[in-house]
Structure 1
Amino acid sequence: MRRRILLAALAAPRVVRAQAAPIRVLGTGAVAASAQDLAAGFTSRTGRAVTIETANAGVTARRLREGAAADLVLNSESQVERLAAEGLLDGATRRELGRMLIGAAVRRGAPKPDISSEAALRAAILAAPVIAHSDPATGATAGTHAARLIERLGIAEEMRARTLVFPGGGAAVQAVAEGRAALALSQVSEILAVPGAELVGPLPDSAQLVTAYLGAVASRAADREGALALLDHLTGPEGRARFRAAGFVTR
């Protein structure tokens, strides 16, 4: 009898529970560190895995346009508005993660230059043997602003051969941490995320760019409900606290 039961059990079809696919996120470097930390907490609480691909704002938008698979997109307000207008994001799901300033970074332990005014910032940039920022040609938010600022300060020619550009702000700040550049201009959150770099401070008001970062569900999302749940987590109390710790101003 026992043998017949065992044989019947072996012959019965096996039921395999399919594991839900990860929630796919496309995000920018400015939100990367906070989003990764919060996604880990979300996974721990819900059991839902999250994959996050990051690049600068322009590249992230281009990837979505080129058909990259995504459930949730985290990008600058201007990019999110364009993508929503193009029908690639569901505009009704837009939520603000926080607002970010651009700052200057030096290698940890290095003297911090005065950047309290435009004149002081101009002098600090000119005094640096090499500076670094993200690549404006790819649509990087901080890099585009840095290049325009240097042009407006009238020092573009002097700095042309002394400027390193990188795909993202984090890599530019890493160049400072490694001693390959003396000064980096990047989003404050990207500076705080690099252990070997130190924030000098935000740029002065007259040279500043305030960027709002938003999350929105992709129109082609394979897991809309998962994306909305993750967005709730990113913009909830825990999310706001983590983004504030990264230098964001949150509501």
Structure 2
Amino acid sequence: MPTRRPLLAALIAPAPLLAQAPAPAILAAGATKHAVEELQQALRAAGQPVPEAAFDTVGALRDRVLAGERPVLVLLSAEAIAAIARRNPIPPGNIAAVGRTGVGLAAPAGHPAPDISTPDALRAALLAAEAVAVADPARGATAGRHFMAVLDRLGIAEAMRPRLRLVPFGVEGVAMAGRGEVPLAVSQATEITDRPGVRLVGLLPDSLQLWTLYQAALLQDGEDGRALLRRLTSEAGKAAFGRIGFRPAG
């Protein structure tokens, strides 16, 4: 009778470990996504190595780092970077501001844009909308968390609850507006500016606005990381952030 040992051995032998994808060099908040992608494209066009980047909400990326992940560099809100630095000190020279942005509303391109210049006008515009896409504040979305507070201040949180379309990530809500799936989407203005299929309706009124400072922080020392930080804060880097609506940090 033929032996079955080779077959049995094959069945119980440990499977080879699957190759794991390299960790991204950059963890970047959605507000910085399009500037980072522009810089990646410039590196690719110049035939230079292109660092991998992963994008998510500020809170989700902050928590990944606090849980032990160590990218070369993070692009997050100053508040999130301060939280990381409290756990793992970051030398001051390894942190640089890239700019600040406010919360705005997106609408499908070509559609009439409502007036949101005052709290009363914003309240009316939101109550007139059949649906509003917004990043889920439970995932640490800066704009989503702030927008929920704005609804409370306007006294329309309960009225708006059934109309909200929660998405994991602000840029997904903006994309929904671009596809005409919602008449309005809320996100950081830098996630809306110059995006295909959408228009920036405007920023929230000054009395309801949240300005967020974003910083780049180097978490791994080394020449590659320092070169990346220099590129992000170079004139070309500043121009890339400026093109999507970032304002000077000061």
The residue identity in structure 2 corresponding to 1:140 is A
1:40 aligns with 2:38: no
Q: Would the alpha carbon gap of residues 23 and 170 (structure 1) be closer, same or farther in structure 2, given more than 3 Å must change?
A: closer
Q: Tell me the alpha carbon deviations over residues 99-138 of structure 1, each in whole angstroms, 9 at most, x when there is no partner.
A: 1111111111111000010110011011101011111111
Name the SS of the counterpart of 2:236 in structure 1: helix
Correspondence for 1:245 among 238, 243, 246: 243
- For 1:88 and 1:39, how far apart are their aligned partners in 2? 28
Give the deviation of 1:90 after TM superposition: 4.3
Cα deviations by residue, 1:53-100 (Å, 9 ceiling, x for unpaired): 010100011111223341000001100111111106444411001111
Contact 2:23 / 2:71 at 8 angstroms: preserved in 1? no
For the 8 Å contact 2:66–2:87, the answer to whether it is kept is: no
> What is the CA-CA distance between 1:192 and the residue it aligns to?
2.0
Q: Give me the whole-angstrom Cα distance separating, in 1, the residues matched to 2:28 and 2:194.
A: 15
- With normalisation by structure 1, the TM-score equals 0.85
Contact 1:22–1:49, Cα closer than 8 Å, also in 2: no
**Structure 2 match to 1:226:** 224
- Helix, strand or coil at the partner of 2:25: strand
Tell me the TM-score normalized by structure 2.
Answer: 0.86
Mapped contact 1:134–1:142 kept (Cα < 8 A)? yes
Deviation at 1:211, TM superposition (A): 0.6
Matches within 5 A, 1:116-195: 116-192=117-193, 194-195=195-196
Number of matched residues?
Answer: 228
CA distance in 2 between counterparts of 1:148 and 1:132 reads 15
For 2:125 and 2:28, how far apart are their aligned partners in 1?
31
Gaps of 5+ in 2: 1-21
Q: Which residue of 1 aligns with 2:58?
A: 57
RMSD of aligned alpha carbons: 1.8
Return the offset for 1:46. Answer: 7.4
Residue 121 of structure 1 aligns with an amino acid whose one-letter code is L
Q: Which piece of structure 1 moves more, 240-249 or 65-74?
A: 65-74
Question: Offset of 1:44 from its aligned partner?
Answer: 4.8
Which secondary structure state, in structure 2, belongs to the residue aligned with residue 161 of structure 1? helix
